[in-house]
Structure 1
């Protein structure tokens, strides 16, 4: 016999405006009692039709006892009729997914918010199933959704810049965008730009290529972003040309990239007056490939110091040679490092 307070129990003669209203009330009762409820669609349709025809929907009988064990409060949330992802949780899950928050992390956050897994109202499996359905809905319309978003941003602010190209099969091939704030910021801090193409998207195989700088607070700022489909010269030429088109002051004074051979050609072609330098992070990262782990660990800081603090070529050569002597490098190791 369920232990539920009288005011939450169904009573003979109780009336409801619809079958959904009746089901919601009874399902709340079932949760407190410790069992699950279900109504098949054909029966629901029949009841709904009767209600629409003027038939009253009320309680004519109520059997309170059960011939099976009831669930405990800590387990009742696992029963089918009590595992539902509400509209609010669906919206939250969608936001989490867009921010790349994993499902496990989402559940932990919800447990903290609601005071335990039994109070969330759904399980991790329910969340995963919703995410799966959401992804299935997005299949085939991802590019259209992105372009629609860009178009809506353009409607909100005419200074929002975006452009894209499709291939022969009408698939998104490349795109570039920069919002109004980024374009204004470039006017003040666009003398030095970092162009980084080390980020690849797993699902589409496209490259995420942000163009960033640093403001007067030493904070990283984004000037624009692109999605080229490959790292070929043609794609980079298109992207950087669109970047110059979007920015009010044209090409930067200095651009910093990785040591990609295609990128070197592109910079010379698109930014002939711009000083091109290699990213220090990419340079230092190659030391681990050229040196054994112990030597890399012991002399990394001295090598980095020489690169960062040399103001003339002579100072750099001197500090470099000193670092190599301290590392006791000679022969092939020396040549390998000089190739960096």
Structure 2
């Protein structure tokens, strides 16, 4: 058996054994272990093969074995008599190998190392001819140990058939710059790593290509390699005799080995694992670097420039003037008006298809004839092109006056690029069902467009403003709400935030099995500020995300979305717009731009009818004749007041109160304080009870946020022997009779109209009242018949009033 080769004589230190593998050595990655073993094999005199590998279901490598190139035996798979060119059997069954296994901290430890070979080793001078040490077939001219970069360049150029003067930019001068890549640098995502390397390339004078990429089954990128644009070689796939001379592609590649390799780290960021700065070709000058493909910014700048101007609702001609008005003196002008020319029409081409506008207008007018309370509005730009559309009907208006205290404005169409820009306003009724207040098609997302939309919605609802509105994180929407509804509380939809997190933190989600759970708890679970802040900081520390810019921005805006903030604002138990999932599913097929807009509008109308029928069914099941048998006095009271869906929520709180413990904290005059601890949450909640007026307040603020009393208050009432909940804690919007009573009392109608005001104002107020009455009456045949009969009597009575008035009092005012 052959002995191990002597150390590399070029190393200069025969006693240095740091290059020899040992059991328990650790490496950051399996690739680093391979490179170390490969270097050792080159010194010793053999080649390495990557043999067995063991992976988890997620794709993470658990263990790997690297073997000598003569490991095992090989033979022809077919019978030797059938093989025309039998392969030479060079393997000897050598047992030399190196095995690594993953550790708990994510590194790879050498678990087994066998150094002995059963064959003759090659001399170090010839080791470079072995396969694992061989340079790429057509790039052998690159001399790794050249005395200088200039010598390397001269060798390559001469081998190409001639020498030409090469202007070489010294990469050593750039090595210490902050803009130069370095091993172990980290980036938030692969695109930022590409942008960084591309910026470096522009400063040096070469172009960048995105080469190899390795993904998991889920699509997450594990590793990626960015190479010089002259990497490798290419030629025409066909024989040159079959290719027309004017179509023969010039071979500009030189087999350059310059590259940067990034790999996904445990913290979800991408770490530079390999950086090769050396090139084998001439660099371009700084003056012409912008002409290289990866540095051409015309398309990107064009889109950003035109979008920014178009977002301001500027006419196409004005945008063209803006595009043409770029500084012509710039030598690197990348925004050309000729390139702009077709962009804006393409941007809006997919917005509204030919024939959609006419069909939509015909549909809206037909609806208005059948339903006089139907309301629609269309926004046009300066060139009379449709940009946004809003519509609603009488039933939706009535629902808004009953349940419009909490509104969601849904823009989930943004998560699907192949969907119409459909955005509904909606809330929840007293049965915890979705009710649509209005709908919009938003083709132009600008601050002015959103402002127009909210003002149009406000007009359609006769000026009534919601107490709270939930939207996504769009700053344009936020600004528009502040202008149109300054007194309305704006909250951010946490469902949208979670969707954005999957985009900005996708690598972290894939790299950890527990991050999704910890992040979700921060979004939904922590009701106290201290708990939330502590959990957030622990999450950042645990997953090494303190430097993540998106999470920093999210935390700064926490008062808009975190459960721990704003609990004094009533949200009707709507933390997000995810309640609309069922509706989105029903509309998904018809939201496709391939469908006619008229088909979508009619399907949306059918869906509204189905929802309203479901509400009628729920109203029937909530009638007093269908009673709920309850074991306690308070539950019987709640069952008689609440709808069945809301009663289930209250019943759960009541049952949970049975497991709470109470401690009397004392009293000040008529105010009693109790410390209540829930079994599932050891946190102490403080309940205050004022015996003078029956006021109840809990530190958890569930009643203020949801409108239903919490388990802590119910436990405190049980301790002081109060068996019924004070009537003021049964909110009208959750009760069975939520839509019963005086229009003025329930909806605030006409309370601000002076009877002596103008005829137009009186007419507007009466139309508002009658449209709501008509919408409610039309839900059933009995209601329709009753209103129809009463209308004759009402009209006769009005005529008697008019006849009794002197003519001068009937003049139009």
- What's the TM-score once normalised by structure 2's chain length? 0.23
Give CA-to-partner distance per residue, 1:175-221, whole Å, 9 cap, x none.
21011111111112111111123426979x97322112122333222
Aligned twin of 1:307:
523
**Aligned CA-pair RMSD:** 2.7
User: 1:306/1:183 Cα in 2 relative to 1: closer, same or farther (>3 Å)?
Assistant: same
State the distance in 2 between where 1:178 and 1:267 align: 20
User: 1:142/1:323 Cα in 2 relative to 1: closer, same or farther (>3 Å)?
Assistant: same
Does the 8 Å contact 1:211/1:222 carry over to 2? Answer: yes
- Quote the offset at 1:245 in angstroms: 0.8
Q: 1:172 aligns with which of 386, 389, 407?
A: 386
Residues 1:158 and 2:376 aligned together: no
User: 1:178/1:296 Cα in 2 relative to 1: closer, same or farther (>3 Å)?
Assistant: farther
State the distance in 2 between where 1:244 and 1:337 align: 34
Residues 1:219 and 2:433 aligned together: yes
1:100-115 equivalences in 2 (<5 Å): none
Give CA-to-partner distance per residue, 1:120-159, whole Å, 9 cap, x none.
xxxxxxxxxxxxxxxxxx9743212211211111111211
Secondary structure of 1:194's aligned partner: strand
Aligned twin of 1:147:
361
Aligned twin of 1:250:
464
Aligned twin of 1:329:
544
Q: 2:455 aligns with which of 241, 253, 259?
A: 241
Secondary structure of 1:273's aligned partner: coil
Aligned twin of 2:500:
286
State the distance in 1 between where 2:365 and 2:517 align: 48
Aligned twin of 1:102:
none
Secondary structure of 1:231's aligned partner: coil
State the distance in 2 between where 1:299 and 1:320 align: 12
State the distance in 2 between where 1:169 and 1:322 align: 54
Aligned twin of 1:270:
484
Q: 2:536 aligns with which of 289, 301, 320?
A: 320
- Quote the offset at 1:231 in angstroms: 0.7
Greater relative CO, 1 or 2 (CA 8 Å, sep 6+): 1
State the distance in 1 between where 2:385 and 2:391 align: 18
1:71-220 equivalences in 2 (<5 Å): 140-199=354-413, 207-220=421-434
State the distance in 2 between where 1:185 and 1:283 align: 28
- Quote the offset at 1:296 in angstroms: 5.5
Does the 8 Å contact 1:229/1:235 carry over to 2? Answer: no
- Quote the offset at 1:302 in angstroms: 2.6
State the distance in 1 between where 2:436 and 2:449 align: 20
Give CA-to-partner distance per residue, 1:99-125, whole Å, 9 cap, x none.
xxxxxxxxxxxxxxxxxxxxxxxxxxx
State the distance in 1 between where 2:478 and 2:513 align: 30
- Quote the offset at 1:295 in angstroms: 4.6
State the distance in 1 between where 2:547 and 2:375 align: 50
Does the 8 Å contact 1:187/1:249 carry over to 2? Answer: no
Secondary structure of 2:477's aligned partner: helix
State the distance in 1 between where 2:398 and 2:497 align: 31
State the distance in 2 between where 1:155 and 1:336 align: 50
User: 1:202/1:284 Cα in 2 relative to 1: closer, same or farther (>3 Å)?
Assistant: closer
Structure 2 unaligned spans of 5+: 1-351, 555-813
Give CA-to-partner distance per residue, 1:76-105, whole Å, 9 cap, x none.
xxxxxxxxxxxxxxxxxxxxxxxxxxxxxx
Q: How many residues end up aligned between the 2 structures?
A: 200
Aligned twin of 1:339:
553
State the distance in 2 between where 1:238 and 1:297 align: 44
- Quote the offset at 1:167 in angstroms: 3.6
User: 1:269/1:297 Cα in 2 relative to 1: closer, same or farther (>3 Å)?
Assistant: farther
State the distance in 2 between where 1:307 and 1:178 align: 33
Going by fraction, where is helix more abundant, 1 or 2?
A: 1
User: 1:178/1:292 Cα in 2 relative to 1: closer, same or farther (>3 Å)?
Assistant: same
Aligned twin of 1:46:
none
User: 1:216/1:299 Cα in 2 relative to 1: closer, same or farther (>3 Å)?
Assistant: farther
Secondary structure of 1:225's aligned partner: strand
User: 1:260/1:302 Cα in 2 relative to 1: closer, same or farther (>3 Å)?
Assistant: same
Give CA-to-partner distance per residue, 1:56-94, whole Å, 9 cap, x none.
xxxxxxxxxxxxxxxxxxxxxxxxxxxxxxxxxxxxxxx
- Quote the offset at 1:312 in angstroms: 3.5
State the distance in 2 between where 1:237 and 1:153 align: 26
Flag the structure with larger Rg.
2
Does the 8 Å contact 1:287/1:296 carry over to 2? Answer: no
State the distance in 2 between where 1:305 and 1:139 align: 44
- Quote the offset at 1:269 in angstroms: 0.8
Does the 8 Å contact 1:159/1:180 carry over to 2? Answer: yes
Structure 1 unaligned spans of 5+: 1-137
State the distance in 1 between where 2:363 and 2:546 align: 57
State the distance in 2 between where 1:243 and 1:308 align: 30
Does the 8 Å contact 1:207/1:230 carry over to 2? Answer: no
State the distance in 1 between where 2:400 and 2:444 align: 26
